[in-house]
Amino acid sequence: MDKKEKMRGLDIDSLKDRMAGTISTEEALKDIVPFQYSKDVLEGKQKVIFSAMK
Amino acid sequence: MCNIGDIILIDEYNHGSLRLRHHSFVVMQDEAGEIRGYPYDIICNVLSSFRDDNQKHRKLAFPGNFPIVNDDTHTTPDNGKDGYLKTDQLYYFKKDKISYQIIGYMKPDIFQLVLEFVSAGEFKIRAITDNLIE
């Protein structure tokens, strides 16, 4: 499938019953390991495409 | 202008007195709205890579983490860039308050799987709104 038409996004309203409050960015990112993208990606010469893990 | 499914790299944004840099996110929703009185125009999930195999197994045991592989065409498939999408945390952003670039996108069929994963999940979801506050 190609990415040409606008995709449907997350239905936030359907998640309201599962919302459990707020946390800070600092707390949320404390164990996050940033991806190291190649220079070509950062300069827009190459795109990153995410797919599912096998 | 970013769209749903895009991978954006946020160059810099404020968090209190801190300046955070170079975190990548997937745009999950791009309809503007308001949360707790603050306007937003995109909602994102953060992407994280794995530090090592131990962390990989630990992270994938969390019910809200969706596994992904980085298919960056500039590298081989097994380049250590596998990671996960942290779907149990929703980051609310206002685009004019952040500096970002679009670096790629999630394949539409995989994005659809993420939506189904979140919809079918029973994990709690937290909102992160502190980037909306001046």
- Report the pLDDT value the prediction gives residue B15, as an integer from 0 to 100: 63
d(CA B83, CA B76): 15
Q: What is the pTM of this model?
A: 0.88
**Average model confidence (pLDDT) across chain B:** 86
Q: Specify the pLDDT at position B25.
A: 93
**DSSP conformation letters of A21-46:** EE--HHHHTTT-------HHHHTTSS
DSSP string, B11-31: EEEEETTEEEEEEEEEEEE--
**Is B133 domain-assigned?**
no
Instruction: Quote the DSSP letter at residue A53.
Output: -
Residues of A in contact with B124 (CB under 8 A): 18-20
Q: Do B18 and A28 touch (CB under 8 A)?
A: no
Q: What is the CATH number of the domain that holds B103?
A: 2.30.30
pLDDT reported for residue B90:
96
Nearest residue on chain A to B42, judged by CA atoms?
A9
pLDDT of amino acid A10: 96
Strand bridging mode A48-52 / B99-106: parallel
Q: Could you say which DSSP state residue A16 is in?
A: G
- Is-contact B66 A33, C-beta < 8 A? no
Number of domains in chain B: 1
The answer to whether residue B134 is domain-embedded is no
